[in-house]
Amino acid sequence: MDIPHDWFVGFSKSFGLFYLIALSIGITIYAFWPSLGNRFDKAAKSILDDEDGPARGEGFDPEDEPCR
Amino acid sequence: MMSNLTGAERGTAMIITGAGVLVGLAMAAVGHGDPMGTHGWIVLAFSALLFFFVGDKVYDPEPAEDRAASYYDDPTKVGIVIALAWAVVGMGMGVWVASQLAWPDLRFDAAWSSFGRIRPVHTSGVIFGFGGNALIATSFHIMQRTSRARMPDQVTPWFVLLGFNLFCIVAASGYLMGVTQSKEYAEPEWYADLWLVVVWVAYFVLYIRTLARRNEPHIYVANWYYLAFILVVAVLHIVNNLAVPASLTGAKSYSAFAGVQDAMTQWWYGHNAVAFFLTSGFLGMLYYFLPKRAKRPIYSYRLSILSFWGIVFFYIWAGSHHLHYTALPHWVQTLGMTFSVMLLVPSWASAGNALMTLNGAWHKVRDDATLRFMMVAAVFYGLSTFEGSFMAIRPVNGLSHYTDWTVGHVHAGAMGWVALISFGSIYALAPVLWRRETMYSWKAVEWHFWLALAGTVIYVFAMWNSGITQGLMWRTYTESGTLAYSFTDTLVAMHPYYIARAFGGLLFLIGACIGAWNVAMTIRRMPSETPELDYPTSSESREPAVPAAE
C-alpha cells in the first residue's frame, strides 16, 4: 500500500499530535481518582516494611531510628 | 560465587561461554585484517575467561542453601563493583579528554588517543559502563525486594550483566581502533548492536519473570521506571541501529536511513536515550532508595504515577529539538519544542516529590551524606530539566546550539543528577548487600559528596560562561556586516574555561575514586552482620499475586 505524503503529514499533525496528550490526560485522571488513594498509600508504604522480619512492637516510630 | 550455581546451571553457563569462545574464534577468523578480527579475539578471551571461571567450580558440591530463604544478590554485588570500576575508567577518560581541549599536546600524536576516539570512550564509559551497570545491578536488587521474591534462575542475571559488559568492552575497544557508526551514543557497529539486542531481551524477560513470581500484589512504581528503561531502550536501539553491513567480515555498515530522516531517527534515539537510559531507570533508583534511606514513604505516590506516564508520553516527541534550524520540517521542530517545554511537568513532579519526601526530615539530610547525595541529585534533576526545556526553545537554541552550553547542560544532568543518585544508591545499597553494619568510612562519603558537588558546580559554571561567550562571539557582526570574530578568536576565549572544566572533572574523578575505595574497604574490612530484615516472603505464606479485591 502506498501512503501519500500529504496524507501522512496530515495524520501526523492531527492524530499524532493529540493522542499522546489525550493519553496524558487519561493517566492524570487515573492518578488522581479519589477512591484509589488507599491503594496508593499502601503501595508507598510497601517498600518500607518490605521484608519478612520480626514484628516491631507497638509505638515503634521509624523516625526515631538514627541514620547510618 | 560460582559454587552457588547448581550443577545444571554450571553446565548451562559453560555451554553459553563455550559458544562465546566459538563465536569469537569465528569473528577472529573471518574478520582477519579488520577491526572485527581484533574484536573476535576480545570476545574469545572474555568468554574463555568466564568458561574457566565456571569450569574451575564445576565439580564442587551442589549448593546446600535454601533458595527460598534469601534473595540472589551475587550478580548485584558484581554489578556494583563493575560499575565503580567503569566510573573510574570513564571519568578518567573524561578528565583526559577535557585536558586535551585545554592542552592539545596531551594527544601524544597517536591515532588511538585522538580526541574523536577517546571522547566516545568517555561518554560510553560513563553512560553505559558506569550508568548501565549501576542500573542493572540496582534493578536486580529492587525487582526482588519490591516483589518480595527471588529471581527465577541464577544464570540469566549473569548472562545479562556480563553480556552487557562484553558489549561495553567491544564498544570501547572499537572506538580506539576507529570503529564507529558516527551516531551519538550509538557508535558501536552492527555486530555489537545485535549482541546488545540479545542481552537486552534476556534482561526484559528476566524482569518480567521475577515480577510474575511476586508476593506483593502491587507493582511498586520504581519497577515501572525500570521496565520503561528496558523496553524503550530496546525499541530505540533496534530502530536507530538498522543498518546494512558493508560485508559480513568487516565492521563497517551503512545506516538504513538517509539525510534528514537519518538525523531525525538519530535524535529521536538520542534524546530518548537521555529520557529512558539516563532518566527513567535512575528515577527508579530515586523512588526506591530515597524513601528507603529517609525511612519515609514517598510524598505523593499519585505524582510518581503522573510523572512516569508524563515522561513516557512527552519525551517521545522531544528529540527534534536537537535539529532546530536544519532541513527538518519546521512543524516537526515546533512539535519537539512544545513537548520539551511540557516535559517540565513530569520532571518537576518527580524532583518536587523527592524534595517533599524529605520535608520534615532535613536533619537526616544534614547528618547523612548518602541521603544528601540523593537530595542534591533531585535538585540537579530539577535544574537540568528546566534548563533543557529552556534550551529547546528555538531562539534560545539559536544561541546555545553547538556551543559548550550544551556540554554544560549534559553534565549538569550526568554528573549532578545521574552520577549523584547512583553514588547515593550505592552507598545505601552496599551495606545491605554485603551484610555490613555500615560503610567503612562515613568521612570518605562526606569527602566524596563535597568533591562531587564542587566538581559539578565548577564544571557547569565553566561551561555556561564558555558556551554563552562562544555563542555571542559567533553571532557578533561588524558594522560592515561581516563576522567580528574568527573561530580561533573564540577558541582563545574558551581556554581558561577549558582549564576550569578539566579541574572540575578532576575533582569529580577523585570523589569517584574515594567512593570505589570506600566500597572495597566496606567489603573487605567491615565485620559482617546478619540483618533481621531483607529476606523474601516465605513460599508458605505466598499469597496470590493479584488478589480478587484490594
Q: How confident is the model at residue B317 (pLDDT cuts 50, 70, 90)?
A: confident
Structural domains of chain B in order of their starting residue, each with its CATH number = 71-244+258-528 (1.20.210.10)
* Residues B40-81: tens digit of each pLDDT: 999 999 999 999 999 998 898 888 877 878 899 999 999 999
Report the chain B residue with the minimal C-alpha distance to residue A47: B146
Query: In angstroms, rounded to a whole number, what is the distance separating the alpha carbons of residues B486 and B80?
Result: 47
The percentage of chain B sitting over the pLDDT mark of 90, rounded to a whole number, equals: 90
- CB interface of A with B, residues 2-21, below 8 Å: 13, 17, 20-21
CA distance B138 to B420: 14
Nearest C-alpha in B relative to A22: B313
pLDDT at B92: 98
Contacts with A46 (C-beta within 8 Å, 6 or more apart), sequence order: B146, B216, B218, B220
Side chain identity, residue A21: I
Tracing cell 526545556 back to the chain, one arrives at B389
Cα B93 from Cα A55, distance rounded (Å): 49
Question: Taking CB atoms and an 8 Å cut-off, how many pairs form between chains A and B?
Answer: 103
Whether this model's pTM surpasses 0.90: yes
- How many C-beta atoms surround the C-beta of residue A34 within 10 A? 6
**What residues in B contact A44, CB-CB < 8 Å?**
291, 297-298, 301
User: For residue B291, how many other CB atoms are within 10 A of its CB?
Assistant: 23
Distance of CA B400 to the CA centre of its chain: 25
ipTM rounded to 2 decimals = 0.81
Q: Does B71 touch chain A (CB under 8 A)?
A: no
| pLDDT score, position A21 | 85
Residues of chain B with Cβ-Cβ distance to A39 below 8 Å are 218, 550
Which of A20, A40, A53 is facing B316, going by the closest CB pair? A20
Taking a contact as any Cβ pair under 8 Å apart, which residues of chain B between 409 and 448 contact chain A? 431, 437-439
- A4 CA to chain B: closest CA distance, Å? 17
B66, B70, B75, B81: CA torsion to nearest 10: -130
Give the closest residue to B182 by CA, choosing from B107, B109, B240.
Answer: B240
CA distance B175 to B90: 13
Summarize the confidence of residues B425-449 as an average pLDDT.
Answer: 96
User: In a mutagenesis test of the B interface, which of A50, A63, A64 is the best target, namely the one with the most B β-carbons within 10 Å?
Assistant: A50
User: To which H or E segment does residue B243 belong?
Assistant: strand B243-245
Half-sphere exposure of B514 (CA within 13 A, CB side): 18
C-alpha cell read off for B477: 557582526
Quote the Cα angle for B311-B314-B315, to 5°: 70
In this prediction, residue B63 carries a pLDDT of 87
- Average pLDDT of the segment spanning B103-124: 95
CA distance A43 to chain B (A): 6
- Check if B341 contacts A (Cβ < 8 Å): no
pLDDT beyond 50 at B101: yes
- Burial of B513 (C-beta count, 10 Å sphere; 0-12/13-18/19+): middle
DSSP 8-state secondary structure symbol assigned to residue B70: S
Q: Which residues of chain A have pLDDT under 50?
A: 53-60, 68
Helix, strand, coil percent values for chain B (each to nearest 5): 75, 0, 25
**Across B87-91, B124-128, B531-535, least confident range:** B531-535
Cell numbers for B511: 570523589
Residue B267 phi, psi (nearest 5): -85, -20
Q: Which residues of chain A make contact with B221, given a CB cutoff of 8 A? A: 43
Q: Given CB atoms, is B477 within the 8 Å cutoff of chain A?
A: no
With a cut of 60, say whether residue B550 has pLDDT above it. no
Distance from CA of A65 to the nearest CA of B (A): 9
Model pLDDT for residues B19-46, shown as the tens digit of each residue: 999 999 999 999 999 999 999 999 999 9
Q: Is B392 helix (H, G, I), strand (E, B) or coil?
A: coil
Contacts of residue B149, defined as CB under 8 A and 6 or more positions apart, other chains included, come to B210, B213, B214, B215, B536, B537
